[in-house]
Amino acid sequence: MTNWTLGERFHQRYPHLSGVKALWETKWKLPCSLGVYPFHDGKLEDFAPIFEKLIEDDVNDAYSDSYTEYFLPTAERLTDAAMSAQASDRAKAAELFKRAACVYRISRFPSVDAGTGLKRKMFENQKQVYLRGASLWADPIKEIVIPHLAAQGEDGTDIPLYVRLPSGASSTNKCPVVLLITGLDGHRPDNTGRTDEFLARGWGCVITEIPGTADCPAARRDPQSPDRLFSSILDWMDQQHYLNMQKCIAWGLSAGGYYAIRVAHTHHSRLAGSIGQGAGSHLFLSREWLEHVDDHEYPFVLSEAYVAKYGYQDWEELLEKAQKDFSLVESGLLNRPCCRLLLVNGTWDGLMPIEDSVLLMNYGRPKEGRFYDRLFHMGYPPANESIYPWMESVMATAG
C-alpha cells in the first residue's frame, strides 16, 4: 500500500459529493462569485438561479440530460442579448457571448460524451457563441482546422485548433508561442484568461484538446496516438511564418499535464520547455489510486468520464489495463531525452497524486518543480505566480 501524501484524506469522501446542493454551497458558489475555475467568463447572477432550481428539484446526476436542460434557458437568453447588442455595443456583446459560453460549459460537465448527445450539442453551442464573441475582440481567437498528416489506425483526419496572435505578428516579427494542451473537461473555449496573459507578453497561442475528449481526433485507446497528434500540430506550426518556433513552450492543464510531460520527451528538440500542471504520469492510473478517485475533489463522480476518455468498455477494464497501457514509467518514455520541464501542483491533489510529479525527478534530465503544500489540484490559486515567470525566463533565453 502506498503511503500517499494525502494521508487520511485519501480514504475520505469529500462533502461536496453528497449532491448538487452540497456542490453548489460548499464548492462552486464562491468560485462562481469570483469568476475562477470552472466559471471563467461566468457571473454568479447567471448561475445562482439555475442551481437553486436544481436543488429544489433534487437533480443530482450531472451525467444526465435532465441536468443539462436546466442551463439552456439562461444560455439562450444571454446569447439573444449578445446578438441584440452587437450592432450598438461590441464590448457588451463580447461579454455576453462569454457569459453564454460559460453557461454552456457548465451544462456539458463532466463529459461531452455523457447522456444521449445533448451535452455534445451544448459543446457545439458553446463553441459557436464563444467564437462569435471572440471575433469582436481586438485580437480575436480563430478556429483553424489542420490535416492530421501523421494519422494512423483509428485517428481522425483533421485537427481543430484555436489560434490567437498578438497584433503585428508577421514573418518579419515572429511571435513566441504557447502550445496550450487542455484537460478532461476544460476544452478550447475555456481559456480566455490564459490567452489574455499570453498576448500581454507578446506571445501567440495554439490550443489543442487531448485524446478522448471534445474534438480531438487522436485514437482514445492507442497510447501512441498523442505522439502522432503533436507531430502533426508541430509540423503545421513550423510552417506558419508568424510563429517563432525556437520560442515554443507547451503547457498541459490537469489531464493535459500528462501530455505535456509526454511531448517534452517525444518532441524534446522542438520545444524550448514544457509545463505539466496537475499532471499524472504513473500512479494516477493505479488500481489503488483509482478506487478512491471518485471520493476526492472532482465536482462529480470521475470514473464515468475516465471510461469515456480512455475508451475502455467499463470501469473494471480501466482499473485492470489503464496503468499498463498509458503509464509513462511502464512505457520507458521517461528515460528518453527531455526538454526543460516544469511540474506544478498542490500536495493535496486528490485527482493526480503529487507522487506522480515527484517520481519524475528519478528519471532522465533534472526537472524543475513547484509544489504547493496543502493545496489541491493544479496548485491554485498561487500556481500562476510560478508558471508565468518561468515561461518568461524560458522565452527570454530560448533561441
Residues recognised as catalytic: 254, 349, 377
CA atoms within 13 A on the CB side of 291: 7
- Positive or negative torsion for Cα 372, 373, 378, 382: negative
Other Cβ atoms less than 10 A from the Cβ of 392: the count is 13
- Positive or negative torsion for Cα 170, 171, 173, 174: positive
In SS3 terms, the chain reads as CCCCCCHHHHHCCCHHHHCHHHHHHHHHHHHHHHCCCCCCCCCHHHHHHHHHHHHHCCCCCCCCHHHHHCCHHHHHHHHHHHHHHCCCCHHHHHHHHHHHHHHHHHHCCCCCCCCCCHHHHHHHHHHHHHHHHHCCCCCCEEEEEEECCCCCCCCCCEEEEEEECCCCCECCECEEEEEEECCCCCCHHHCHHHHHHHHHCCCEEEEECCCCCCCCCCCCCCCCHHHHHHHHHHHHHHCCCCEEEEEEEEEEECHHHHHHHHHHHHCHHHCCEEEEECCCCCHHHCHHHHHHHCCCCCCCCCHHHHHHHHCCCCHHHHHHHHHHHHCCCCCCHHHCCCCCEEEEEECCCCCCCCHHHHHHHHCCCCCEEEEECCCCHHHCCCCHHHHHHHHHHHHHHCC
C-beta of residue 62 within 8 angstroms of C-beta of residue 305: no
- Positive or negative torsion for Cα 94, 215, 39, 176: negative
